[in-house]
Amino acid sequence: MYLAPAGAADPIEGANPRVGDERVGATTSKSERCQECHGADGNNENGQFPKLAGQQRTYIAKQLRDFQTGLRRHPIMTAMADGLSEAQRFDIAAYFASREQIRTRSPADPQVARELFERGDAERGIAPCASCHGRDGRGQNAETLVAPRVAGQHYFYLRAQLMDWRSGERRNSPGDVMNRTAERLDDGEISALADYLSGL
């Protein structure tokens, strides 16, 4: 099983992670216009934007902070996250995390993607996706690792993120684990994984 490198624990977690108030987050996510792209309940229908419903709350809060600090870059999200306080980040995260994700596809089962997800490829140094993201793809929130939910996420969003990890456009995973993994995947494997994960 993958263990995050020493020092890779998400500093947003800390010893006493904030929980956030989902009721306040419902209002804040609307007033801060999060719901315009991500949907009122986090289940948007546009594959350009990620579903946030049911996502790990700590992961959402971390991504908002990473947009603020420039660790993760996106012209719209950088502007949207810029003025958020720490409390607002956690309230928004708590709200979307509390929503139930609506699955819009039946599970895909291409063999290559399932093998990579469940077993990885030791010869190429690829750990199983499930070792971080969980056997069901719903993510993990442990002391040394915060891995997002990937199950049921939009195909086009998943594929774009994997391509960005591979190219180095995105570099905000603990110990660059996602970059090291994605750079060993070819285009077909990335597409197959995105298809498979979107159907979980």
pLDDT of residue 191: 95
* 22-98 CATH fold: Cytochrome Bc1 Complex; Chain D, domain 2 (1.10.760)
pLDDT of residue 17: 57
pLDDT of residue 54: 96
Give me the residues of the chain with pLDDT under 50, please: 1-16
pLDDT of residue 16: 42
Distance (Å, rounded) from C-alpha 68 to C-alpha 192? Answer: 32
How far, CA to CA in Å, does 193 sit from each of 1, 21, 48, 132? Answer: 19, 34, 17, 15
pLDDT of residue 7: 37
Is the whole-model pTM more than 0.85?
no
Contact 99, 43 (CB under 8 A): yes
In the chain, CATH 1.10.760.10 covers 22-98, 111-198
* 111-198 CATH fold: Cytochrome Bc1 Complex; Chain D, domain 2 (1.10.760)
Overall residue count recorded for the chain in this entry: 200
